[in-house]
């Protein structure tokens, strides 16, 4: 049977692509008032690149979209829903719009457990900064097709939702 691996490992200096994992990526949160000297909050996440690879390769982006990724166990600790079998199964089936489940990575030295991508926390990071950071972080995990496109589609499905102010009542 042909194998369809979920991940590969790429060198730090390889071009950034959608589905690349960047460890410990800082995001700067500015204060509401900007003066000459300000205190900024910096939060770090392990992230996956959500911007399209073609836009990244062709240098059409100044800012790269990234979403935080979490081990599923972290979600289980914080949510009874995800702790339950029903919740995890709903996540696996793609029935929890804000989140996307990725498989375990079993590549030696890069092992992970099941991972959850959080679509509600989307950040944009300057392209040049991310490129430099990726080089500094060294070899990284890359999500492979068709799982990469599946992730992108799940993000699109989440983003394109429309909440109706007045919905049609359910049929009974």
Contact positions toward other proteins, by CB under 8 A? 24, 27, 34-46, 60, 62, 68, 70, 74-75, 78-79, 81-82, 87, 90, 93, 95-99, 118, 120-121
CB of 109 to other proteins, least distance (A): 20
Q: Of the candidates 46, 43, 42, which has an alpha carbon nearest to the alpha carbon of residue 20?
A: 46
CB of 85 to other proteins, least distance (A): 10
C-beta of 11 vs 24, nearer to other proteins: 24
CB of 62 to other proteins, least distance (A): 6
Paired sense of beta strands 115-118 and 99-102, if any: antiparallel
C-beta of 109 vs 163, nearer to other proteins: 163
| Residue 137 neighbours by CB under 8 Å, 6+ apart | 12, 22, 23, 24
CB of 12 to other proteins, least distance (A): 20
d(CA 68, CA 65): 10
Asked if residues 154 and 119 have their Cβ atoms less than 8 Å apart, the reply is yes
Asked if residues 138 and 13 have their Cβ atoms less than 8 Å apart, the reply is no
C-beta of 2 vs 29, nearer to other proteins: 29
Give kind and range of the element (H or E) at residue 28: strand 21-29
C-beta of 92 vs 139, nearer to other proteins: 92
């Amino acid at each position: 049977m042909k194998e369809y691996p979920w991940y590969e490992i790429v060198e730090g200096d390889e071009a950034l692509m959608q589905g690349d994992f960047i460890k410990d990526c800082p995001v700067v949160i500015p204060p509401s008032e900007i003066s000459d000297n300000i205190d900024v909050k910096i939060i770090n996440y392990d992230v996956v690149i959500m911007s399209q690879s073609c836009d990244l390769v062709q240098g059409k982006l100044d800012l790269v979209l990234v979403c935080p990724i979490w081990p599923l166990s972290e979600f289980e600790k914080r949510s009874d829903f995800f702790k339950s079998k029903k919740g995890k199964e709903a996540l696996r089936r793609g029935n929890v719009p804000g989140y996307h489940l990725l498989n375990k990575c079993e590549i030696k030295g890069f092992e992970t457990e099941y991972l959850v991508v959080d679509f509600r926390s989307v950040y944009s990071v300057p392209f040049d900064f991310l490129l430099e950071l990726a080089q500094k972080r060294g070899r990284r995990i890359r999500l492979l097709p068709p799982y990469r496109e599946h992730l992108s589609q799940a993000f699109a499905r989440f983003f394109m939702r429309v909440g109706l102010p007045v919905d049609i009542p359910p049929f009974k």
